[in-house]
Amino acid sequence: MTAKYVGQPVKRNEDPRLLTGQALFVDDVHLPDMLHAAFLRSDYAHARILSIDTTAAKEMPGVVAVYTAEDLGDFWQPSPMIVQPPPTLEDIVFNPRPQIPLAKDMVRHIGDPVAVVIAESRYIAEDAAEQIWVDYEPLEVVTDIEKALEPDSPLVYEDLGTNLASHVRQEKGNYAAAAKKADLIIKRRMVIDRGAAAAMENRGIVVDWDAKTQHMTMWNTTQAPIPIRNGLAATLGLSEHQVRVIAPFVGGGFGPKIMLLQPEEVLLPWAAMRLCRPIKWIEDRRENFLGTTQERGQIHAVEAAFSKDGKILGLKDIFLHDTGAYNPYGLTIPLNTQTHSMGVYDVPNFYTEFKVVFTNKMIVTPVRGAGRPQGIFLVERMMDLAAKELGIDPVEIRRRNLIPADAFPVHHSIIGQDFIEAIYDSGNFQPLVEKARLLIGYDKFVTEEQPKLRAAGKHIGIGLAPFVESTGVGPYEGARITVESSGKVNLVTGVGTQGQSHFTSFAQIAAEQLGVAVQDVEVTTGDTDQFHWGTGTFASRGAVVAGNAIFAAAKRVRAKILAKASEVLDAPEEELELKDGAIRIADIPEKSISLGELAMLANPLRGAVEPGTEPGLEATEYFGPKYGTTASGVAAMIVEVDPDTMLIDIKKFVIAHDCGTVINPMVVDGQIHGGVSMGIGHSFYEQLIYDENGQLLNASFMDYLVPRSTDMPPSIEIAHQETKSPLNPMGSKGVGEAGAIPIPAVLAQALENALNIDGLELLEMPLSPGRLFELAQAAKNRD
Amino acid sequence: MKLSGEFIFDGNRDEVWELLRDPDELAKALPGTQSLSKVSDNQYTGKMNVRLGPVSGMFSGKITISDEVPPESYTMQVDGRGAPGFVKGTGAIQLMEQPDNKTLMKYSGDVQIGGRLAGVGQRLVESVSKSMVKQGLETLNMALQAKHAPPPSATAPEARSPEPPPAYTPPSEMKFAMGVAKDLTTEFFSSTDRNVWLTVGVVLVSFALGYCFGQKRRGG
């Protein structure tokens, strides 16, 4: 019997290299004669560029070149839109404003790149950038998405005559009719502000143009090496095979690194071709705050209709979404918000409408969660408000509204980010709620512990919030698996890796099919010379889409192995087994051949290969799902608040999670841990503060608070449930963003419960000790 | 950011007016000022090294005076830019005669900052600006006192006034930084435990000194 690896907590193949400093990151690439780049970024959120004087910078010793938009000539072109709005959406407004390589006549947010200096060292490049004099005419700034739509607002794009980037309306059922029958209507305004992805590794690029071979190599921290290769080739007028993009080990992606053909990515290859020398650019932390995209930034007017027994009859949500100064990523985030606003509930009627707004702030593109936490926040907050109004226990009101297990697939008739109607393919929410309730000890806490602790003067509360996560969207990914003559297996796929344990999870899938040790599967990701079909790592899709392509390729290689071995061992395929790197006849184990020998036989140096067969033990396969598969979970926490300082202490945190087939439970746990810490950060610590002039006031880790280990709960207890997806052969669902999604909702609920102040409603995120104090005082003063 | 306050000068209004319009005295009162020159009746241009926590660098800018009512009031527009960002502000200054040959200054202004100055220096901006204004005014006042003091050689020992005016030497950049650090600690820890106060004070002063020396090394 072949060893079973899928589902096992196999130790990570990549860790020995990572832990001993043997893993290549972009900044580890050092090439002879390499130059260094520094960007001059705008200090103004909105200004006209009257002139740029680069004379002093160019005169500095060690400066090789200084480029402004004017120097780019015809090469200056807006980058293509990365994501177009779904063609399936009807009657929408969409005004595309893609990124541009360098600001030409106008800067539209602080950090907008204005010039680039190429020099012998980064020190010289940065010093020279400071010597560039830009004559700006500061213009009125718009940062507030509500004010931005007022008639007299300053305009980010004068030619548009409006700051409206997009307007979309969708409806399932008929909310207005449902509201008429309701016993209770709740209306609230909810605000979710911006946070940073704050990956440990910032963005970075090394690009090398070899004029003699007419070949370009780029090392890039991207989540999407293949689209960048194709885009670069098109932009630079090269063949796709003249460009190799390598995404080596990357220290965290979290969304912003999916961005394609950003100014740095376009300019540096162009400069490298002109200068015929390699160029390195590594974003520093402050630059990351100003030059890397961000997320969240929505204001919702939510309305929910309930019957008196707590059944939700309908939901209505009209929201504004801040896209910042450009909108290259289309509607992905607000569409995710729309498709996640019904959460795990049977919401028969849902009216949802959004306006996307241009502001003089950094561009908004997906950051782990990507619109989903906002949707979950609003529906979960509505459940809490209704529970309070109707005098129903918060867990009970949720139970009453869960989509039943026999209702799948659930069609929502709301178009999502993958251009088709949101459909929950599968799920089983009721047992997840029970698992989380038991793990957190809900009943005992509420009936026994909390009253005692409250009597002792403690402010301690509990929250429980379910969530869904649309994952594993198309279009497709591919993989090639080769058995080498050493008997080891080579596995390549196009997606890039930013810490998701692909080198292990992917190896497990192949190893199980091929009967080799997981350590004997050498995985290569994100190198376009190794595999050049695919899209990228986003939307929690690596394990689902690439995973199933690997599964398919491994099955085909297995079939080839069996066919060849059957011929060599002269035994029917059914009698063969693959185990420990060899193929043997199950009943006569001494009659066997090693995989390596078989691979050599399949690739002979002389003789004839049967017509119609392929050499070697190799297969390439692709997988594209019909639509994204829906993962789900229920998070619960117990939190204590210090009423004087409003500092919080998460005493206990549990999550019951369902991502279908678990490939490696340890890796899934790790993904959840990371997501939870990010969720906690974006709910209570991290917030990007812009002033009314569009200045980012906390553009450093001195002022922007990423949670520390001491801000984490003492442990994160995880229960796995496996409701297999019918959309892919492995039955898998994604988990990359899961942890981050329910935290704002569950924390708000738990904090309200802990503070127990009449009229205190936490309807905004992120909170902070200061903000929580203000809200608590305001609620007390209202009494 | 709004800045406002009052200050009492030990001199009459005409003297104070003259002092406030003297670029040399102003330059001395604001250490870090590399140059300040009058380019027209109501315009000055200059260069100043500004230091705000971890952010420092050279600013060049211009000051425009308008709505001038000598010796009572004027408004001032400051427009400065440098590698660490930009400063843009307007201020209204009013001088009022007081008994005993003193003058009360009332000032109010609105300052906008941008770039690295705002992104990294934000949490120090208000305190440092207030402190810079306070110290600058104190230095100007010392210059005023020094003018009033009779030359030392002409004064007989027995005729010396009970409280001699302090000798006036404009503060060095380092001394100024220390003053700013001291103001910051006073502001943050005016009513808390003394030991904490001291520790933080020492840390901040060392910090300020570090920047002074760091600046020099880089300059050299």
pLDDT digits (tens, 9 = 90+) for A143-197: 999 999 999 999 999 999 999 999 999 999 999 999 999 999 999 999 999 999 9
Which among A44, A130, A695 has the least Cβ separation from residue B119?
A695
Task: Output the average pLDDT for chain A.
Answer: 96
CA A581/CA A488 separation, integer angstroms: 8
- Residues in chain A within 8 Å Cβ distance of B122: 697-698, 703
- Residues in chain A within 8 Å Cβ distance of B112: 693
Whose structure tokens read 């606003």? Answer: A341
Residues A291/A283, Cβ–Cβ less than 8 Å: yes
Inter-chain contact B114–A289, Cβ cutoff 8 Å?
no
User: What six digits make up the tokens of B12?
Assistant: 């009459």
Residues A637/A714, Cβ–Cβ less than 8 Å: no
B202, amino acid identity:
V
Q: Which CA distances in Å does B205 have to A58, A88, B198, B212?
A: 38, 63, 10, 11
- Residues in chain A within 8 Å Cβ distance of B57: 130
> pTM, whole model, 2 decimals?
0.91
Asked if A577 and A688 sit in the same domain, the reply is no
Summarised one tens digit per residue, pLDDT across range A316-355 is 999 999 999 999 999 999 999 999 999 999 999 999 999 9
> Hey, which residues 118-137 in chain A have their CB within 8 Å of chain B?
130
> Is B54's Cβ below 8 Å from some Cβ in A?
yes
Asked if A462 and A507 sit in the same domain, the reply is no
- Residues in chain B within 8 Å Cβ distance of A702: 54, 120, 123
Output the pLDDT for position B51.
79
> Is A44's Cβ below 8 Å from some Cβ in B?
yes
Residue A701 domain-assigned?
A: yes
> Hey, which residues 663-722 in chain A have their CB within 8 Å of chain B?
691, 693, 695-700, 702-703
CA A647/CA A710 separation, integer angstroms: 12
Residue A753, C-beta contacts closer than 8 angstroms, at least 6 positions apart = A461, A462, A463
Asked if A436 and A568 sit in the same domain, the reply is no
User: Into how many domains does chain A fold?
Assistant: 3
Inter-chain contact B114–A699, Cβ cutoff 8 Å?
no
Inter-chain contact B119–A130, Cβ cutoff 8 Å?
no
Which among A695, A698, A702 has the least Cβ separation from residue B114?
A695
Distance from CA of B4 to the nearest CA of A (A): 20
Distance from CA of B146 to the nearest CA of A (A): 40
Interface test mutation site (partner A, options B122, B123, B125, B126, max chain A beta carbons within 10 A):
B122
Distance from CA of B136 to the nearest CA of A (A): 26
Summarised one tens digit per residue, pLDDT across range A672-694 is 999 999 999 999 999 999 999 99
- Residues in chain B within 8 Å Cβ distance of A693: 112, 114
Asked if A536 and A679 sit in the same domain, the reply is no
Output the pLDDT for position A44.
96
Structure letter (DSSP) for residue A675: H
B54 → chain A, closest CA residue: A702
Interface test mutation site (partner A, options B88, B90, B116, max chain A beta carbons within 10 A):
B116
- B103: helix, strand or coil: strand
Residue A349 domain-assigned?
A: no
CA A688/CA B132 separation, integer angstroms: 28
Choice among A310-314, A361-365, A614-618, B190-194 with the minimum mean pLDDT: B190-194
- A717: helix, strand or coil: strand
Q: How confident is the model at residue B151 (pLDDT cuts 50, 70, 90)?
A: low
Choice among A62-71, A226-235, A504-513, B175-184 with the minimum mean pLDDT: B175-184
B212, amino acid identity:
C
Choice among A439-443, A573-577, B41-45, B152-156 with the minimum mean pLDDT: B152-156
Asked if A616 and A674 sit in the same domain, the reply is no
CA A128/CA A131 separation, integer angstroms: 5
Which among A43, A290, A697 has the least Cβ separation from residue B86?
A43
Q: How confident is the model at residue A458 (pLDDT cuts 50, 70, 90)?
A: very high
Asked if A242 and A274 sit in the same domain, the reply is yes
Asked whether the bond before A475 is cis by omega within 30 degrees of 0, the reply is: yes
- B75: helix, strand or coil: strand
- The domain in which residue A538 lies consists of 15-22+474-623
A702 → chain B, closest CA residue: B120
Mean pLDDT of B142-153: 78
End of a domain among A231, A260, A291?
A: A291
> H-type helices in A260-409, by residue range?
263-275, 285-291, 332-340, 372-390, 394-401
Interface test mutation site (partner B, options A700, A701, A703, A704, max chain B beta carbons within 10 A):
A700
Output the pLDDT for position B153.
57
> Is A286's Cβ below 8 Å from some Cβ in B?
yes
Residues A737/A375, Cβ–Cβ less than 8 Å: no
> DSSP labels for A487-527?
S-EEEEESS--SSS-HHHHHHHHHHHHHT--GGGEEEEESB
Residues A760/A748, Cβ–Cβ less than 8 Å: no
Residue A453, C-beta contacts closer than 8 angstroms, at least 6 positions apart = A460
Highest mean pLDDT range out of A40-49, B3-12, B22-31, B196-205? A40-49
Mean pLDDT of A65-93: 95
Does A381 score more than 70 pLDDT? yes
Which among B114, B120, B123 has the least Cβ separation from residue A44?
B114
Distance from CA of B154 to the nearest CA of A (A): 52
Residue A690 domain-assigned?
A: yes
Output the pLDDT for position B31.
73
Q: How confident is the model at residue B182 (pLDDT cuts 50, 70, 90)?
A: confident
Which among B57, B118, B123 has the least Cβ separation from residue A695?
B118
Inter-chain contact B54–A702, Cβ cutoff 8 Å?
yes
Choice among A431-435, A600-604, B208-212 with the minimum mean pLDDT: B208-212
Distance from CA of B122 to the nearest CA of A (A): 6
Q: Which CA distances in Å does A771 have to A685, A762, A763, B57?
A: 11, 10, 12, 34
Does B114 score more than 80 pLDDT? yes
Does A102 score more than 60 pLDDT? yes
CA A462/CA A752 separation, integer angstroms: 9
CA B174/CA B172 separation, integer angstroms: 5
Inter-chain contact A699–B120, Cβ cutoff 8 Å?
yes
Asked if A654 and A719 sit in the same domain, the reply is yes
Distance from CA of B185 to the nearest CA of A (A): 18
**Burial (CB count within 10 angstroms: exposed 0-12, middle 13-18, buried 19+), residue B207:** middle
Residues A376/A632, Cβ–Cβ less than 8 Å: no
A43, amino acid identity:
D
CB atoms inside a 10 Å sphere around CB A177: 12
Asked if A730 and A774 sit in the same domain, the reply is yes
Inter-chain contact A698–B122, Cβ cutoff 8 Å?
yes
- Closest residue by Cα to residue A38 from A267, A197, A251: A267
Residues A759/A783, Cβ–Cβ less than 8 Å: yes
Q: How confident is the model at residue B217 (pLDDT cuts 50, 70, 90)?
A: very low
Q: What kind of fold does domain B2-148 have according to CATH?
A: Alpha-D-Glucose-1,6-Bisphosphate; Chain A, domain 4 (3.30.530)
Q: How confident is the model at residue B164 (pLDDT cuts 50, 70, 90)?
A: low
Sign of CA dihedral A158, A164, A166, A167: negative
Distance from CA of A648 to the nearest CA of B (A): 23
Asked if A516 and A560 sit in the same domain, the reply is yes
A336, amino acid identity:
N
Q: Are strands A215-220 and A243-246 parallel, antiparallel or unpaired?
A: parallel
> Is B121's Cβ below 8 Å from some Cβ in A?
no
- Residues in chain B within 8 Å Cβ distance of A703: 120, 122-123
Output the pLDDT for position A218.
98
Structure letter (DSSP) for residue A708: P
> H-type helices in B47-148, by residue range?
116-148
Does B30 score more than 70 pLDDT? yes
Output the pLDDT for position A103.
97
Residues A689/A181, Cβ–Cβ less than 8 Å: no
Output the pLDDT for position A428.
98
CA A177/CA A348 separation, integer angstroms: 11
Q: Which three-class secondary structure string do you get for B175-210?
A: HHHHHHHHHHHHHHHCCCCHHHHHHHHHHHHHHHHH
End of a domain among A256, A291, A326?
A: A291
Output the pLDDT for position A495.
92
Output the pLDDT for position B207.
43
Pairs from A440-444 (Cβ < 8 Å, separation ≥ 24): A440/A464, A440/A636, A440/A637, A440/A638, A440/A652, A440/A654, A441/A652, A442/A395, A442/A636
- Residues in chain A within 8 Å Cβ distance of B55: none
Output the pLDDT for position B162.
52
Output the pLDDT for position A212.
96
- Residues in chain B within 8 Å Cβ distance of A704: none
Distance from CA of A691 to the nearest CA of B (A): 9
A43 → chain B, closest CA residue: B115
Inter-chain contact A700–B83, Cβ cutoff 8 Å?
no
Asked if A776 and A642 sit in the same domain, the reply is yes
Choice among A168-172, A601-605, B159-163 with the minimum mean pLDDT: B159-163
Distance from CA of B213 to the nearest CA of A (A): 19
Alpha-carbon Rg for chain A in angstroms: 28
User: What six digits make up the tokens of A530?
Assistant: 């190794």
H or E segment to which residue B162 belongs: none
Output the pLDDT for position B132.
84
Does A223 score more than 60 pLDDT? yes
B83 → chain A, closest CA residue: A130
Interface test mutation site (partner B, options A697, A704, A705, max chain B beta carbons within 10 A):
A697
> Is A776's Cβ below 8 Å from some Cβ in B?
no
Output the pLDDT for position B168.
66
Summarised one tens digit per residue, pLDDT across range B65-106 is 999 998 999 999 999 998 889 989 899 999 999 999 999 999
Asked if A534 and A658 sit in the same domain, the reply is no
Choice among A616-625, B124-133, B143-152, B196-205 with the minimum mean pLDDT: B196-205
Output the pLDDT for position A436.
98
Output the pLDDT for position B195.
44
Q: Are strands A350-358 and A312-324 parallel, antiparallel or unpaired?
A: parallel
Residue A503 domain-assigned?
A: yes
Inter-chain contact B120–A700, Cβ cutoff 8 Å?
yes
Residues B77/B89, Cβ–Cβ less than 8 Å: yes
Choice among A70-74, A273-277, A681-685, B139-143 with the minimum mean pLDDT: B139-143
CATH of the domain at A500: 3.30.365.10
Which among A44, A138, A696 has the least Cβ separation from residue B119?
A696
Output the pLDDT for position A650.
98
Asked if A646 and A669 sit in the same domain, the reply is yes
Does B188 score more than 60 pLDDT? no
Mean pLDDT of A658-663: 96
> Hey, which residues 65-104 in chain B have their CB within 8 Å of chain A?
83, 85-86, 88
Q: How confident is the model at residue B158 (pLDDT cuts 50, 70, 90)?
A: low
Distance from CA of A686 to the nearest CA of B (A): 15
- Residues in chain A within 8 Å Cβ distance of B58: none
End of a domain among A244, A275, A291?
A: A291
Q: How confident is the model at residue A643 (pLDDT cuts 50, 70, 90)?
A: very high
Residue A121, C-beta contacts closer than 8 angstroms, at least 6 positions apart = A36, A62
- Residues in chain B within 8 Å Cβ distance of A691: 118
Output the pLDDT for position B187.
54
